[in-house]
Chain A
């Protein structure tokens, strides 16, 4: 099985070239083992959600090991925080935070192999070099493969210090390597949580309240229990009263009804016969342990609606809010301004809609709890489920499967705990499956945000002061210390929030996924008012931020920010204008990386079509360029899609969308016809890439739409904001 994908890495479909599996593996360290025939298995420590870390993280180990990539097999590592650091998919941090430990693991193993060869040959270690899985002693001409030295190397003491390569000597990092699961994916092999099976496994589904602000009163399962294949129907309390909730224990509905049966279809049918009575929930107040500090979170009572939400957003945005940053004297400058531009931007709640819905497998016995499935935060959930089951950590075995999308949704692992509780109750292995409807109406949404921007211009249309007041339900999207903070003498940033009983969670590039588009649309209007080219306008501000920054806490590097704008300007040939092409630009910094876009729109048959997107990125060293390009292309499509089409709205507390017939996701024909991605050549250690390409494109889309239609788009999704052709 493992060999099946190894031969595809080189994309030459010739299994003859592949080594057979070795007779014996020698574990060199927790990250890798080497077979007697030279084949190397590298463990990929972090959860794979489509960001391709299962390929790129082992590439980093292989680089320092100096093995031939064609001789590498990859396995998903077990959860073991003693060996692996931060086994988490989130914040675009896997490569950035794994960089040193992955390199060190490879370099340490190489050092042990060299030492083994040095001792075998009786020569000094520094006379031996490793090249593509071979150990060479040039003076004597001796040569041996890693496999022959693996047994001896595995017995040696691990060196305390190793020398890492100079990046100019990299031969694997910076070269494109195919997805290690590629052939399994295209042939439909079991890879995902939903594909997992075990003997005697039952299927479970949940029935949760139909609206936020409601809870279970009672249920009648008499009909359900008569349905074929149904084993049990019961009420489950997810967290017990004494449990202290953590920051990722997001869940609107603590009490749900569980239906357990033999097969998915039987449980699906039986669930429809369940008769539940729901009642209004009262206001709740719960202490939460939020990353070490105890905070009290109040959940209001009541049934909320989107209509009311937008009234609240608009009303609160008119009031003064908490000032998070103030430079100079913005209030006075606004008083003496010749012209003030004021604009408001909004976005709706969004459901993550990973295409693989939430699910988890659990087999909980007295001895242990085996939990298998898609989870972005296994090390956090291990502690949480241990408490819920009353089982020590060492009896909890969480195994990571490939995930059918994450986007932040699988940071919140209540479904793992639910599966465990159900399995414990049934005393049998269980796979919990959320239907699409259950998944989409359960909560953990991207919050609904509002941003009010104001710019003060003098008589010559120079920008003299800038003001942002951003808030949302239930959190603010403000990033007060990001651009254009630092580029303006007079700057003010305020934030506010409004509580809600609708649960929210991190959604690809949290907060940035709205504020970037809003800010970049606003800057486009300000540039226009100032009579300046939108890219040059930003570059002027960035020059100021670089040469003479205002304030101490600016959390971006102005030169790198300007770098991506200059790169995209060059690649898009920004100055060569075609009257039939409407161009929008935007740039943003988040998750330690910089992205700039130019989006080309044309009108065909009265419809705006995204003809081409140029994307320039500075994320430091790029480990796997083609895969990184793919991820950036996806970010562009995802950003256009959510800005244009998607929304979760509410009436009487209930989500009005529950499946893809009423929740619109971008489809094939709506994607850009072409996406061209360029990376800034850099020797800076890698920074984030999963999230940064997602936020700015929303601004580029809005700005291109303005050029194409003559109308500004302020409210996402744009498709319902106003007619696309003015």
Chain B
């Protein structure tokens, strides 16, 4: 067990945990931030996508000891009132079916738009390929990303 001070969603959280514990389980088990989902544990499904200094990463692959003072943003901290352009576009297109993967999809989409404000279909394909939607909402996800890009 070690103590870590993590900068998550603009606040510093003190956590006592094994240094190998992935960020995913710190968020879910220690900090009650359960919007970040477990889907595979091996960075293949994207359900646990969060931002590390603004870049999309898979929280299941980030040991807590490697984070240091880097800034973590989860779906809960993406916007204060759930009104990030990507979140609004997701509502406008009523994207979710079961909804389980959507936090990860939104985090990947938001990171994409930060680095590329006007992505082409190919850019979206490349950025979103790592996020599985088992319900098959991909066509709506693409439309929502374009709406968010234009807003």
Contacts and interface: CB of A to CB of B under 8 A. Distances in A.
B96 interface: yes
A672 B82 contact: no
B28 A405 contact: no
B42 A659 contact: yes
Given A188-B74, A357-B38, A659-B40, A635 B136 contact: yes
Nearest to A693: B136
A436 B48 CA distance: 13
A669 B103 CA distance: 19
B71 interface: no
Given A357-B38, A637-B136, A631 B99 contact: no
Contact of B126 (A186, A264, A637, A669): A669
A672 B138 CA distance: 9
Contacts of A189: 35
Given A52-B97, A354-B134, A659-B40, 4 more contacts: A190-B34, A265-B21, A265-B25, A668-B142
A356 interface: yes
Q: Which of A11, A190, A667 has the most CB of B within 10 A?
A: A667
Interface string B58-88: 0000000000000000111010001100011
A708 B97 CA distance: 32
Nearest to B82: A187
A178 interface: yes
A182 B98 contact: no
B129 interface: yes
9 contacts: A13-B83, A13-B88, A50-B97, A178-B94, A186-B82, A186-B90, A186-B91, A637-B139, A660-B39
Interface string A314-352: 000000000000000000000000000000000000000
B44 A661 contact: yes
B90 to A, nearest CB: 5
Interface stretch (A128-136, A191-199, A214-222, A240-248): A191-199
Nearest to A675: B139
Contacts of A264: 25, 28-29, 38
B22 A638 contact: no
Contacts of A203: 29
B91 A634 contact: no
A633 B139 contact: yes
Of A191, A355, A636, A637, most B-chain CB atoms within 10 Å? A355
A265 B29 contact: yes
Query: Which are the 6 A-B pairs with shortest beta-carbon distances?
Result: A188-B35, A637-B136, A404-B100, A50-B98, A188-B75, A669-B125
Contacts of A636: 136
Given A179-B96, A637-B139, A659-B40, A668 B125 contact: yes
Contacts of A667: 129-130, 132, 138
Interface of B: 1, 17-18, 20-22, 25, 28-30, 32-42, 44-45, 47, 74-76, 78, 82-83, 87-88, 90-92, 94-103, 106, 121, 124-126, 128-142
A423 interface: no
A189 B130 CA distance: 23
A634 B135 contact: yes
Tell which of A266, A356, A665 has the most Cβ of chain B within 10 Å.
Answer: A356
A186 B33 contact: no
A266 B47 contact: no
A594 to B, nearest CB: 20
B35 A404 contact: no
A671 B97 contact: no
A169 to B, nearest CB: 25
Given A188-B74, A265-B22, A436-B39, A403 B98 contact: yes
Contacts of A8: 91
Interface string A160-202: 0000000000000000101101110111111110110100000
A644 to B, nearest CB: 12
A165 to B, nearest CB: 25
Interface in A629-685: 630-631, 633-638, 641, 659-661, 665-669, 671-675
A409 to B, nearest CB: 11
Given A228-B1, A634-B137, A669-B125, A51 B97 contact: yes
Contacts of A435: 41
A188 B34 contact: yes
